[in-house]
Amino acid sequence: MPPRPSLALGLLHGAADALPVSSSGHVAAAEALFGADAGDTVGLHAGSLAALVASHTGEAVAILRRLTWRRVAMHLAAGAIPAALGYATEGKGQAPFRHGMLAGAALLAVADLRRGERSRWDAGPVDGVCLGLAQATALWPGVSRNGATLAVARLRGFAPEEANPLSREVGVPVTLGAVLLRRAPLDAAAAASALGFLAALPLVRVVDRGTPLWPWAAERVAVALVLLRTSAP
pLDDT at residue 189 in the model: 87
Tell me the C-alpha distance between 184 and 190, whole Å.
Answer: 9
> Average pLDDT of the chain?
90
- Residue 210, helix vs strand vs coil: coil
pLDDT at residue 2 in the model: 46
DSSP code of residue 115: -
**Continuous segment of H or E residues that includes residue 219:** helix 214-229
pLDDT digits (tens, 9 = 90+) for 194-230: 999 999 999 999 999 999 999 999 999 999 998 887 7
- Residue 144, helix vs strand vs coil: coil
pLDDT at residue 50 in the model: 94
Work out the pLDDT band at 1, boundaries 50, 70, 90. Answer: very low
For residue 86, what are the CA distances in angstroms to 36, 90, 213, 222?
Answer: 27, 6, 27, 28
The candidate with the shortest Cα–Cα distance to 206, out of 195, 219, 193, is 219
Phi, psi (5° rounding) for residue 158?
A: -75, 140
DSSP code of residue 165: H
pLDDT digits (tens, 9 = 90+) for 160-191: 999 999 999 999 999 998 888 877 777 888 99
Residues 42, 222 contacting (CB under 8 angstroms): no
Exposure of 119 in the CB half-sphere (CA atoms within 13 A) = 5
Tell me the C-alpha distance between 130 and 134, whole Å.
Answer: 6
Supply the range of the domain harboring residue 158.
Answer: 3-229
Tell me the C-alpha distance between 185 and 3, whole Å.
Answer: 15
Sign of CA dihedral 152, 75, 199, 140: negative
> What global pTM score does this model have?
0.91
Q: What does the CA dihedral 75, 76, 79, 81 come to, rounded to 10 degrees?
A: -130
Tell me the C-alpha distance between 190 and 220, whole Å.
Answer: 24
**CA-derived radius of gyration, the chain:** 17
Percent of the chain with pLDDT over 70: 94
Domains identified in the chain, total number: 1
pLDDT at residue 98 in the model: 87
